[in-house]
Amino acid sequence: MQVRQPSELREIDANAEARRSILDMMEVYYSLHVQGFGNLRTLPILKEIMR
């Protein structure tokens, strides 16, 4: 999966489970690479929206 522009995100064909997994991985990535990032409080909301 390679996305270079935000407009290309629509072209990604992923089911709900894959989208939730991507969100989880993004949270881990940012928590490892951005000092003081912590946890996303909106992550459960995003997961529910992406069902």
**pTM for the structure as a whole:** 0.60
pLDDT for res 2: 66
Within 8 A by CB and 6+ apart from 16, the residues are 50, 51
| Neighbouring residues of 29: CB distance < 8 A, sequence distance ≥ 6 | none
Q: How many CB atoms lie within 10 A of CB 13?
A: 7
- Model confidence over 2-48: pLDDT tens digits? 656 767 767 777 787 888 888 888 888 888 888 988 777 787 887 77
**Is 14 strand, coil or helix?**
coil
Q: What is the DSSP letter of 36?
A: T
| Number of residues that this document lists for the chain | 51
